[in-house]
Amino acid sequence: MSRRFDVTGVGYTAIDYLGVIPHFPEENLKLELDRLKVQGGGPTATATVTAARLGLSTAFIGKVGGDYRGAMMLMKLSGEGVDVSSAVLEDGALSQFAFIMVDAETGRRTILWTRGTLAPLRPEELDMKMISSCRGLLVDTLEPAAAAAAAREASAAGAKVVIDAGTLREGVREILPHCHYIVASETFAGQISEGRGERAALEEMMKYGPEAAVVTLGERGCVALSEGGHIEEPGFEVETVDTTGAGDVFHGAFLYAVLREWDIRRCCVFANAVAAMKCRVLGGRTGIPGLAEALEFLGEHAPGLDFI
Ligand X SMILES: Nc1ncnc2c1ncn2[C@@H]1O[C@H](COP(=O)(O)OP(=O)(O)OP(=O)(O)O)[C@@H](O)[C@H]1O
Cβ neighbours for 174, distance < 8 A, ≥ 6 positions apart: 144, 148
Q: 70 vs 107, which CB is nearer to ligand X?
A: 107
Three-point CA angle 78, 83, 75, nearest 5°: 20
181 touches ligand X by CB under 6 A: no
Cβ pair 273, 236 in contact under 8 A: yes
* Site stretch for ligand X (CB under 6 A), options 81-89, 167-175, 273-281, 291-299: 273-281
Q: Which of 276, 288, 294, 298 binds ligand X (CB under 6 A)?
A: 276
Residue nearest to Mg ion (CB): 247
Q: State yes or no: residue 236 binds ligand X (CB under 6 A).
A: yes
Closer CB to ligand X, 149 or 246, in the complex:
246
Cβ 75 vs Cβ 60: under 8 Å: no
Q: Which stretch binds ligand X (CB under 6 A): 49-57, 145-153, 154-162, 270-278?
A: 270-278
Helices (H) and strands (E) in the chain, counts: 9, 15
CB of 110 to ligand X, least distance (A): 10
With binding defined as CB under 6 A, does residue 235 bind ligand X?
yes
* Listed ranges 47-55, 75-83, 189-197, 235-243: which one lies at the site for ligand X (CB under 6 A): 235-243
Pairing state between β 97-103 and 222-226: unpaired
Cα–Cα distance for residue pair 262/260, rounded to 1 Å: 6
Would you give the DSSP letter of residue 178? G
Residue 185 contacts ligand X per CB under 6 A:
yes
Supply the minimum distance, in Å, between the C-beta of residue 127 and ligand X.
Answer: 26
The residue at minimum Cβ distance from ligand X is: 247
Q: Output 179 or 222, the one with its CB closest to ligand X.
A: 222
Listed ranges 62-70, 210-218, 223-231, 286-294: which one lies at the site for ligand X (CB under 6 A)? 210-218
Please provide residue 117's backbone torsions phi and psi, each rounded to the nearest 5 degrees. Answer: -110, 20
Q: How does DSSP classify residue 303?
A: T
Q: Residues 140, 44: contact at Cβ < 8 Å?
A: yes
Positions in 121-180 near ligand X (CB under 6 A): 166
Asked if residue 16 binds ligand X (CB under 6 A), the reply is: no
CA distance 295 to 259: 16
| Residue of 16, 49, 243, 282 interacting with ligand X (CB under 6 A) | 243
| Residue 267 binds: one of Mg ion, ligand X, none (C-beta under 5 to 8 A by kind) | none
Q: Identify the residue among 98, 272, 287, 288 touching ligand X (CB under 6 A).
A: 272
Segment holding 212, helix H or strand E: strand 212-216
b/e map 237-246, b = 16+ CB within 10 Å: ebebbbbbbb
Angle between helices 68-79 and 43-53 (to 10 degrees): 20
Q: What is the rounded distance in angstroms from the CA atom of residue 85 to the CA atom of residue 127?
A: 10
User: Which of 48, 191, 216, 226: binder of ligand X (CB under 6 A)?
Assistant: 216
- List, in order, residues 6 or more apart from 293 with CB less than 8 Å away: 277
Among 65, 247, 283, 287, binds ligand X (CB under 6 A): 247
User: For binding to ligand X (CB under 6 A), which residues are involved?
Assistant: 166, 185-186, 216-219, 221-222, 235-236, 238, 240, 243, 245-248, 250, 272, 275-276, 279
